[in-house]
Amino acid sequence: RGVLVSDVKEGSPAEKQGFMQGDIVVEIDGEKMIEVSTLKSALAKIKAPIKIKIFRKGAFTNLTFNPAQ
């Protein structure tokens, strides 16, 4: 379960921090993401770098998201 990243704009903060179209966001800072509204709410609260667990091409990986970038 997670939230599908359907599009990543070229040059966007998401692209610069490693997100790719097709990624599935599974957890943000340990909180499970099950719907877009949960994801948007969690992203809006980020003030410092955090770990985001994603599923990409058959494997789980972690990205560090820095809201200052």
Is pLDDT at 68 greater than 80 in this prediction? no
State residue 60's pLDDT score.
Answer: 97
State residue 58's pLDDT score.
Answer: 95
State residue 21's pLDDT score.
Answer: 94
User: To 10 degrees, the CA torsion angle through 45, 50, 51, 54?
Assistant: 40
State residue 19's pLDDT score.
Answer: 92
56/41 Cα distance (integer angstroms) = 22
pTM for the model stands at 0.86
59/20 Cα distance (integer angstroms) = 14
Q: Report pLDDT digits (tens) over 8-39.
A: 999 888 888 899 999 999 999 889 999 999 88
pLDDT higher for 49 or 68? 49
